[in-house]
Structure 1
Amino acid sequence: RVRHVRRYREIAQVLLKHGFGHLVDLLELTPFLSLPRRLLRREVAEGPPLTMPEHLRLAIEELGPTFIKMGQILSTRPDLIPPNYLAELERLQDTVPPFPPEAAREQIERELGHPVESLFASFGPQPIAAASLGQVHRATLPSGEAVVVKVQRPEIERVIEVDLEILFDLARLAQERTPLGEAYDLIEIVEDFAATLRGELDYRREGRNADRFRRNFADEPALYIPQVYWDYTTRRVLTLEEIRGVKINDIEGLDAAGLDRYRVAVNSTRIILKEVFEDGFFHADPHPGNFFVMEGEVIGAMDFGMVGYLDPRTKESLLRLFIVAVQRDVEGIVDELLRMGVVERGVERWRLERDIQRMLTKYYGLPLREIRAREVVDDITPVTFRYRLHFPSELWLLAKTLVMMEGVGLQLAPDLDVFAIALPYVQKVLQEMSSPWAMAERFLKGATDLADFLLLFPKQWQRLVDRIEGGEFQVVVRSEREEARLTQWSRIANRLSASILIAAFIIGLSMLLPLIQASRWQGLILLLILAGFISLGFLVLWLLVSLRGPGRR
């Protein structure tokens, strides 16, 4: 704290100015105040009084880029943040004045090792966009291509590292002194945020994201991804092909250019659906400034610093949730949430089911095309906070993305039926989930996990015996007769032997599966595997029955 006294003082003064004096005391920031607290009271603004969530947003914006980014991350955690504060965090603005063009030129020359005049045929002195981490200039390559050059703000890494160090210190105190610290690992949350923010500081990562999007959409003409010029790209400088068009939410501009707004809306919807259902990799910052409509209703995308990922398991869980929600199966919804690990232990299930039932009643009888993502997210948010539902942050990032894209789509075409466009994508994924190979893969994975457990059990059992013999803990066994005890141990040994035999059987069958396509005896091998799985089913059934038999203790 001594090394960063000035920054601690600035944080304390901003918090106190916006009415968060209790946080100043809780986080032990009072000693850093250079003036008495009465002289740092909240400023009285003109107009209607601000709410506390509004003051929090203004305080975060005043504290700079690290805290703005942290606020944006927290806006995807409705289990942590109350709904009224969440709405304000979503409004955080990452806009700051540009830094001098001379500093941008120096940064480029330092990174690329040559004077700007030799690197570019022309270089625009004034930035066309500026944010907390960097700013963008137009330029022309010696070969004539028009490009945009994203330059990182000088010294921003040092500023962010100082702020991250302070955030770790504040998280440690909050972990010890707040109820939130009892329910969450606040230090781990800051660690995840630090990793995300440091990743954004590496512009090569953004370039790789752009390349990945281009590969994913190589066969999709409706989306255009600008080329990355890697010879002009480093950790702190990113050079991309310049794309020009009409901003996607500029309705008058689209009409003036003779572009079909409905087709643009359909294309933008198809793009996000492909990202989610097919690629599992989506653009997570789809505000209108990042998308331009080009000739032929082609959508050009920009800014690939923030992306989201969905693994196959999460996609399957989302689809199952969607299906049981459409069926109004409240118990099925809670079961799926439990399967996903979203619900904490000890939650009162009947209360959660009651609140979900109330939420679903609102949509009963409503056609799917009339259901809006914004409204659904707003209804889910308070339930998430009330029961501390730990949805993966990627899902909330996806929800925000869908809400933004839906808003743009409805601006372009108010009668757009998103569900009708999504139906083919959903059907395709459901077919893939229910295909014989997908079922066999899931069964094989489960069987392999079971086999690993059964094979490791003897070693774990031996370790347990060694610990008992070493006197690390005591085991008290009460038995009426010695003969009964020996009989019980005999049964345990028999079941263990059978379990190991089943594990070996599973591994043997799993080794045969790859031979189905590689061998000309496909029918015979498939018959053997089928017979093996049937035999395995009987063995497992016998083992389960024996475990539930009268000999179990």
Structure 2
Amino acid sequence: MFEKQIRHIQRYRDIVIAFSRYGFGFLAMELGLHDLLSLPKRMFMKSSKQNRTKTTGERVRLFMEELGPTFVKLGQFASTRSDILPSDIIIELEKLQDHVPPFPTRDVRNIIEDELGEPIDNAFSEFQESPLAAASIGQVHRAVLTSGEAVAIKIQRPNIKDKIRTDLEILKDIAILAEKRLEWAARYHVKDIIDEFAKSLLAELDYRNEGRNAERISKQFNGKKKIYVPKVYWGQTTEKVLTMEFVEGIKLHDKNELMNKGYNPSILAERVVKAMFHQIFIEGFFHGDPHPGNILALPEEKVVFVDFGLVGRVTSEMKGHLSMFVIALMRQNTDGMIKAINRMGMIPDDVDMQELRSDVELLREKYYDVPLSQVSLGESVNDLFSVAYRHHIRIPADLTLLGKTLLTIEGIVEKLDPELSIIKLAEPFGRELLKERFHPKNVADKAFKDLSEYGEMLSELPKNIQDLKSVIKKGKVRLEISMPKLDESLRKLDRISNRLSFSIVLLSFSIIMTGLIIGSALVSQSTPLWDIPVIELGFIVAILMFLWILFAIFRSGWF
């Protein structure tokens, strides 16, 4: 870790200065970064005047934007974690912009030729040097293959992977420090979150993964003519270059243009919702960033999905937990809802179950007897994650991404057709989910799996007992008992006992000194015993013992 810090010292300084500039210098100090970089403490207490009037959320967003691609991506990743961050910060992180100036055409050509192993003119009959879009990790150019197909080429920025790896190493180091020094960081397992983010971002840097994601989602809609995913051209695709079919459509955020071209926004909205629900609840593999810019409309209300860098997964187990929660909600079963939440996330050991139950009760009552047409999917998801946030319940990343995706879909629908009820469209998918959960084959499979696991446990029981017996014989059993505030009570007890000891020692010393003084006064001379000055020697010994006991008491640190 130290070698990394030395190697990345300038980048550490950039990050620390940004901490200070946006009013988070106290956090850098708590992490001990001022010692690491040998920087004066006073610089951590300053923030620019223009930032002092901004909200915490705004300052977090500006902090992320200043530090570049990795931190912008981290902010976007964090914006899905409403189970961890408060809503005001989430709202600001959702505003993070990933738009930067394009990099030079010469670099674009060099990267394409290095990756494809041939001159760009051999690979493409036409190549548009002006990019269609530029982002922090790559940019997109239009081109035409020698076979005549129009394509969109995404090219990765030069050296971006090295820069991101450096930032990720630093973020991991900071996360480790945070878990050691900050209670909230340890509670939320910040290191695990950073590891999760790093894994996701590094996967995004390999454009072949995006190509595979696109093909997988494309296969979900085989035979469905109204949903389309552009084709991937693997002959012109590598880790740093992605070549896909160029589709020119109207982005869904432009409702006026859609209507001017004769498109029906209501039909488009319904198709988008059904397509996303199919991905989520039927396939369990979905587009993780379906904002209006990533969905195009073609004639006859054909819907096209683009940009598959971020995807989410819903496992069969997660589907089961979701259906369990829905069933409990329908039955007004608070215990069942808590059980489902527990299975979906990680309820900490120290959670106040009474308060959690109270919050879940409020959630249940809020949606009791409310017509489906009046239920906001986004609001209900936010309510669930708010409960998780208040009680420090960690929700799996894919589930929080699912929540964010549902919110995004609802936002699209609100713009295209505010009267459309997403919940009603979700009903048939919900029924399929429940049918899948309680299908005799699935029930039998689950029962068989459970029996197999229990059988395996029983078969291993004698061996485990024998192992335990062996450990006990060797005296290696260690019992750990955790009692809240026990350490604090023991410290108080230590202080009391030390002060009592001090008082006793002081009293004893006083008695000894009094005796010596009186004895000396009565004799009015030294009192040699076998030529040894007893009183004087006793005086010296008493002082030494007194000082030694005092030293022992104060050294304990609990006086």
TM range (shorter): 0.7 to 0.9
Distance in 2 separating the partners of 1:174 and 1:200: 26
Distance in 2 separating the partners of 1:352 and 1:465: 40
Residue in 2 aligned with 1:540?
A: none
1:165 to 148, 166, 169: 169
1:376 to 349, 359, 380: 380
Instruction: Name structure 2 gaps, 5 residues minimum.
Output: 480-559
* Higher Cα Rg, which structure: 2
Distance in 2 separating the partners of 1:381 and 1:407: 18
Q: Deviations over 1:295-320 (max 9, x none)?
A: 11111111001000011111121112
Change in Cα spacing, 1:362 to 1:434, as seen in structure 2 (3 Å) is closer
Q: Deviations over 1:388-442 (max 9, x none)?
A: 1122111110111111111111211111122222222222222222222111111
Tell me the number of residue pairs that the alignment of Structure 1 and Structure 2 aligns.
474
1:322 to 320, 326, 332: 326
Distance in 2 separating the partners of 1:399 and 1:340: 13
The one-letter amino acid of 1:216's match is Q
Residue 45 of structure 1 aligns to a residue whose secondary structure is: helix
Instruction: Name structure 1 gaps, 5 residues minimum.
Output: 476-553
The one-letter amino acid of 1:262's match is S
Contact 1:222 1:297 in 2 (8 A): yes
Contact 2:31 2:177 in 1 (8 A): yes
Distance in 2 separating the partners of 1:94 and 1:474: 53
Q: Does residue 193 of structure 1 match 2:213?
A: no
Residue 223 of structure 2 aligns to a residue whose secondary structure is: coil
Q: Does residue 141 of structure 1 match 2:145?
A: yes
1:175 CA drift (Å): 1.2
| Worse-superposed segment, 181-190 or 417-426 | 181-190
Q: Deviations over 1:355-395 (max 9, x none)?
A: 12223333333211111122223333332211011221111
Residue in 1 aligned with 2:391?
A: 387
Residue 121 of structure 1 aligns to a residue whose secondary structure is: strand
Residue in 2 aligned with 1:421?
A: 425
The one-letter amino acid of 1:267's match is R
| Worse-superposed segment, 79-88 or 93-102 | 79-88
Residue in 2 aligned with 1:42?
A: 47
Q: Deviations over 1:125-173 (max 9, x none)?
A: 1111111110000000001100000000000011011111111211121
Change in Cα spacing, 1:221 to 1:66, as seen in structure 2 (3 Å) is same
1:79 CA drift (Å): 3.4
Q: Does residue 411 of structure 1 match 2:384?
A: no
Change in Cα spacing, 1:472 to 1:361, as seen in structure 2 (3 Å) is closer
1:344 CA drift (Å): 2.1
Residue 356 of structure 2 aligns to a residue whose secondary structure is: helix
Distance in 2 separating the partners of 1:287 and 1:76: 13
What's the TM-score, normalizing by structure 2?
0.81
Q: Does residue 182 of structure 1 match 2:186?
A: yes
Contact 1:175 1:185 in 2 (8 A): yes
Aligned-residue Cα RMSD (Å) equals: 2.1
The one-letter amino acid of 2:301's match is E
Once the two structures are superposed, the pairs formed by residues 139-288 of structure 1 within 5 Å of their partners are 139-288=143-292
Distance in 1 separating the partners of 2:188 and 2:435: 38
| Worse-superposed segment, 439-448 or 380-389 | 380-389
Residue in 1 aligned with 2:105?
A: 101
Change in Cα spacing, 1:414 to 1:5, as seen in structure 2 (3 Å) is same
Contact 1:172 1:187 in 2 (8 A): yes
Residue 219 of structure 1 aligns to a residue whose secondary structure is: coil
Residue in 1 aligned with 2:501?
A: none
Distance in 2 separating the partners of 1:401 and 1:8: 34
The one-letter amino acid of 1:99's match is F
Residue in 2 aligned with 1:521?
A: none
Residue in 1 aligned with 2:439?
A: 435
Distance in 2 separating the partners of 1:302 and 1:152: 17
Contact 2:229 2:304 in 1 (8 A): yes
What's the TM-score, normalizing by structure 1?
0.82
Residue 405 of structure 1 aligns to a residue whose secondary structure is: helix
| Worse-superposed segment, 229-238 or 344-353 | 344-353
Q: Percent identity?
A: 38
1:49 CA drift (Å): 2.7
Distance in 2 separating the partners of 1:91 and 1:33: 35
Residue in 2 aligned with 1:499?
A: none
Contact 1:17 1:40 in 2 (8 A): no
Contact 1:343 1:389 in 2 (8 A): yes
The one-letter amino acid of 2:266's match is Y
Contact 1:229 1:240 in 2 (8 A): yes
Distance in 2 separating the partners of 1:346 and 1:175: 18
Q: Does residue 363 of structure 1 match 2:330?
A: no
Residue in 2 aligned with 1:526?
A: none
